[in-house]
Amino acid sequence: MEINGVPLHPLVVHAAVVFAPIAALLAIAYVVSPAWQERLRTPLVVMAMVSLVSILAAYFSGDSFRGANAFFADNPQIDEHEERAGLLLWVTVAFGVVALVSAFFQRRSPGVRGGLHVLLAASAVAMLVMVVLTGDAGARAVYPPDSFNG
């Protein structure tokens, strides 16, 4: 997949790297600040869905990108990046579901709300960690550390 001859994957990866951390930080703010929950509910849901769409786009465009380039055929670093991307995809799906459910049940009993907040915070942290690990693996595969020693 390309846009004007530029592979789609490097373009949409930037959206995933920006929107997923914003969604995760909104989720953490939502959990730790009860006074702001009403104000953060809609932005949290919107950013959770935007991050999910951007990570889905990055995942599927990466699969296409790999298949179209012989450079990536037998590259163990790309295998690691792809494996982490698959895990990131599932973590992001879980985060999106928990964000939607948390927003929907915002006014429910404290026990339900507390459990959902724990799940939301945990999935937000997991998503942040996986975005960093996945991006790092992709960057190392394309730009090995010794390539900067000029």
Predicted local confidence at residue 63, as pLDDT = 83
Predicted local confidence at residue 108, as pLDDT = 75
112-136 residue pLDDT tens: 888 999 999 999 999 999 999 999 9
Residue 22 CB partners (closer than 8 Å, separation 6+): 47, 51
Model confidence at 148: pLDDT above 70: no
| Measured distance CA(150)–CA(147) in Å, rounded | 7
| Measured distance CA(88)–CA(96) in Å, rounded | 12
Q: Give SS3 for 2.
A: strand
Amino acid at 60: F
Predicted local confidence at residue 8, as pLDDT = 86
pTM for this entry? 0.88
* CATH fold label, 2-144: Four Helix Bundle (Hemerythrin (Met), subunit A) (1.20.120)
18-55 residue pLDDT tens: 999 999 999 999 999 989 999 999 999 999 999 999 99
Instruction: Give the residue from 96, 109, 108, 113 showing the smallest Cα distance to 26.
Output: 96
Question: What are the domain boundaries of the chain?
Answer: 2-144
Predicted local confidence at residue 7, as pLDDT = 81
